[in-house]
């Protein structure tokens, strides 16, 4: 299998290794054990990479029309990949072929999310929302949504999740095919994230706003003034900060105490082209971002407005992912590059 690749990387972020896929790298993710990195190629290939060395151990022929995303089970070495063929495939690191193939609908599968317990996998394919067991059995086929599903996310402390599409945020449970609750909002939602403390649901929107829901009451807050549509949002692990991006700048809201209303936001400036990917550590304070110019930045936003560490790639960034417990950052790029960086804990 192919191994390490020579890549020109400038900046202060220390590189561990780099490897090359056959086409653009569209999604990356670390296994729960930290032993593996999975990467999806625009051609449909799914790659299993040794997390320590960067050596490619497997290249599965995943999806005939192209792959969209990968997601590891939260505790097992079980990988789910989503494709433009309407399928989800489940893989084990020691297998040569998928252990299960899930028929999710007739459109691209663009969203997939494991429940925190790992018991369920939620998938969104066009307007079709389905729930599967970890072994690939269909658990629930939910009511078809009125528009294409733009995002799904799980509550951190129970088997409840939400889906978002134009005009509404919908709450679901595995026991019923019908919604348990609906928040109506007349606009085009691009992404959604449930705060780790389950207090807020937030979504970024086509109309250059960020919308907050207080889950317990349904009360709404809205932040406006973004120069472009808001396609990237992510929560800090304590639910204190929400990072949002709709252009080359990152806006961070302080959501502690009484919430973000009336508070001045923090603006992080380093990127010169729109942010393509952004992720907080699940077990640390750091935020990673990558943009269409190939710039990568690692921030500790509560302390400073400029990045702690940076790197510069030769192609636009498509995805970033943090590993648990190791401080490793994986970055995917449009030229097929996948790189791993060793980030010194802050």
- The residue extents of the domains of the chain are 1-63+91-98+269-346
CA neighbor of 61 nearest in space, from 111, 19, 98: 98
pTM confidence score:
0.94
pLDDT tens, the chain, 346 aa long: 455 555 656 678 999 999 999 999 999 999 999 999 999 999 999 999 999 999 999 999 989 899 999 999 999 999 999 999 999 999 999 999 999 999 999 899 999 999 999 999 999 999 999 999 999 999 999 999 999 999 999 999 999 999 999 999 999 999 999 999 999 999 999 999 999 999 999 999 999 999 999 999 999 999 998 999 999 999 999 999 999 998 999 999 999 998 998 889 999 999 999 999 999 999 999 999 999 999 999 999 877 889 999 999 999 999 999 999 888 999 999 999 999 999 975 4
Strand order in the sheet with 56-61: 25-30, 36-41, 45-50, 56-61
pLDDT at 11: 73
* Burial of 217 (C-beta count, 10 Å sphere; 0-12/13-18/19+): exposed
pLDDT at 69: 97
* Cβ atoms of residues 162 and 194 within 8 Å: yes
pLDDT at 9: 62
pLDDT at 1: 47
Rounded distance, CA 162 to CA 173, Å? 9
* Burial of 94 (C-beta count, 10 Å sphere; 0-12/13-18/19+): exposed
Rounded distance, CA 295 to CA 303, Å? 21
Rounded distance, CA 91 to CA 292, Å? 31
pLDDT at 10: 61
Query: How far is CA 189 from its chain centroid?
Result: 16
pLDDT at 346: 47
């Amino acid at each position: 299998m192919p191994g390490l690749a020579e890549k020109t990387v400038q900046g202060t972020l220390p590189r561990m290794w780099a490897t090359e896929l056959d086409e653009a790298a569209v999604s990356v993710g670390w296994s729960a054990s930290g032993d593996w990195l999975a990467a999806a190629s625009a051609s449909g290939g799914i790659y299993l990479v040794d997390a320590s060395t960067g050596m490619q151990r497997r290249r599965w022929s995943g999806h005939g029309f192209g792959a969209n995303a990968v997601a590891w089970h939260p505790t097992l070495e079980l990988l789910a990949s989503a494709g433009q063929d309407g399928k989800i495939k489940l893989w084990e690191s020691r297998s040569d072929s998928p252990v299960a193939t899930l028929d999710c609908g007739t459109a691209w599968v663009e969203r997939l999310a494991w429940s925190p317990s790992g018991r369920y996998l939620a998938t969104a394919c066009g307007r079709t929302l389905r729930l599967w067991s970890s072994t690939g059995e269909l658990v629930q086929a939910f009511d078809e949504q009125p528009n294409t599903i733009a995002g799904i996310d799980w509550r951190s402390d129970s088997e409840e999740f939400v889906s978002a599409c134009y005009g509404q945020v919908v709450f679901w449970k595995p026991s019923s095919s019908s919604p348990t609750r609906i928040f109506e909002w007349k606009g085009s939602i691009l992404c959604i994230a449930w705060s780790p403390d389950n207090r807020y649901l937030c979504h970024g929107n086509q109309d250059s706003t960020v919308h907050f829901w207080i889950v317990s009451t349904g009360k709404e807050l809205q932040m406006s003034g973004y120069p472009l549509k808001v396609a990237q949002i992510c929560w800090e692990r304590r639910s204190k900060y929400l990072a949002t991006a709709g252009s080359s700048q990152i806006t961070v809201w302080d959501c502690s105490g009484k919430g973000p209303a009336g508070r001045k936001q923090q603006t992080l400036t380093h990127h010169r082209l729109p942010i393509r990917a952004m992720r907080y550590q699940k077990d640390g304070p750091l935020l990673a971002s990558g943009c269409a110019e190939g710039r990568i930045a690692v921030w500790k936003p509560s302390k400073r407005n400029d990045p702690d560490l940076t790197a510069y790639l030769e192609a636009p960034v498509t995805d970033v992912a943090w590993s648990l417990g190791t401080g490793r950052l994986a970055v995917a790029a449009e030229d097929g590059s996948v790189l791993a960086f060793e980030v010194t804990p802050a």
